[in-house]
Structure 1
């Protein structure tokens, strides 16, 4: 009890200083305090208990708390000891009990018992409380088990009160139940082993998941790094292609502009040559000098510029269309990859669609 009380802080606290006991003592009313706390309190005030308020006319004696607890523990131990049934003068602790004699003996009386019944087989056990194992009706050891009523009985009870019941010896029933208990224990043990195996497999699965996740993160970072690098390279490539096509179109337009300007100059020159004919009033001079190639000059085919404004625009629209499709493919791959990762589906290869970009 003292050992158990040491774990109970509340029972080890002084109600005066509200702290754990220091040199604890017990006063006559049964309450305990620190020796210094109760002594100091009684020196200043009326001698009474701080808890129950019981007053003492004279200064009471203080009992050592630890010593009192040890004495209580000894008394409790003695109360639970089995006494020798043959000792009459004083209480002596029994060392063994005889199941035939239904008595417990100290060492001295056990020797006498063994000498008296040396030719008989009296089963002995460690000293035990035989009263709880003795039939209150017949005073005999309850060494028979009635399976019908599921209780221990003596032999006379088995022959009379439990007649026609299914009865066996207590040792046989104990052996049967112990066998079942061992089987149950073995099943529990096997279950423990199976669960331990399951736990180890779960630990391995945990390590595998952690390792796989770390590998997936590293691989993901590597792939997306390549994707970003590919995007940057593709962006530079697209910009260069657009600039190159721009230069080609502008060069072609500049060449056409020079031809058109030259044509304008030629036409203006011919117009200046025709102006005198339009202002002359001499009919004969007009007819004699009329330019024969005038109508042919006006029928010359002009440069076809209809595709100048369409081709460049069509080219850049084509670029925008390709990039838009590229964006859609990237978004589709990203969405599909995220869904498969969440659902734990098949391993998805995250490849960059930028790597296969082609501009026609």
Structure 2
């Protein structure tokens, strides 16, 4: 084929968008032809019209494949006519990235010219002809400049990658060290716990043997005392019986002279033995030492064997052991104002006056009533959160120590529940246990001194058990409360209940 004719034919078979040979040619309603991908890409970017004559195309219209033109292109390619370089990409995409063969001497697959530039807008290598046509308004740089910039970016990425690899390796080593430490620590702890439990079991066995021995000794002494008194009583009873028989014989004596002589010689009846000595046997005394030494362990047992009941308040009735309490004015902090016959306390900013002897320096107040034995239940109504309620032995210090504004549950002599806005904490012996958040408006407290537990309840919107302390209470306990400034706490009274004191 003549070169000029081939060149003219090539121009007729070029797409006016990509300026290359048609690929999958399609025809618009106006009659103009384009590459299928080119016209679709043009419609995605611009309005749906013909790029040559600007005739609008119907919305949703799909270009139709030009079968005749496709067959002509196939025949030309099969005959070796004008077309793309057989060594080049048979279906180049103008939106594709840089040609991987765009090294020295590489040529444009569309125009056959050397690739000297890089189009940053489309992200591909371009020749000078590309810059005149489709890349005319795009951002372009020399290939060497683009490569240097890309190499700089890749080196920076490589450095970041190496840093991250080093960091990951360091973290991996740290995790491996933690694994080794945890395994070693767990092994050591297991050995230590086993050893401690072994010692504890031995100590418990010795304690058990000693307790049983003490019980047996006390039993022997008590029984010996009883047997001794039985012998005395039996001897006394025998003497009384003999004396009674002697008197009876005299009463039946018929001879007056004999009766008078023998009755004159008869002695007085045996004297009474006097008051009995109480038997030395006290179950509480036998268990007192055990209660104190085994209190923590017994707490675990009590928790399983004697679960506290839910208060009868939940059943819309009052329990028989409900207590009407009042505050002790002598114990109230000087910022506390008592009212409603000492049933309500309010924390004010301004103090009432100087502190009274025996009053709390802390923001606390104690109830006038205390309990030594039995089961007791009472309820309080709070105006807001930031209050603490609990029970304490009489030895609870009134003085402020350190930065704490309360000491309920800070030592071994008190137990407390602290209601905050976002948390609830149970305090005893300086240790806090965080509990789920609960309503702190209407609260109930149940104390059983015989079994040994103290339970706190939230009663609104429904009865809910908050926490239970298990302990043997060795001294009388008093309800005690702490309030933040501006808070009010009321002891709930019910007329059907009765007061209970020590």
Q: TM-score, normalised by structure 1?
A: 0.48
Structure of higher CA gyration radius: 1
Higher strand share: 2
Relative contact order higher in (CA < 8 Å, ≥ 6 apart): 2
Q: TM-score, normalised by structure 2?
A: 0.35
Higher helix share: 1
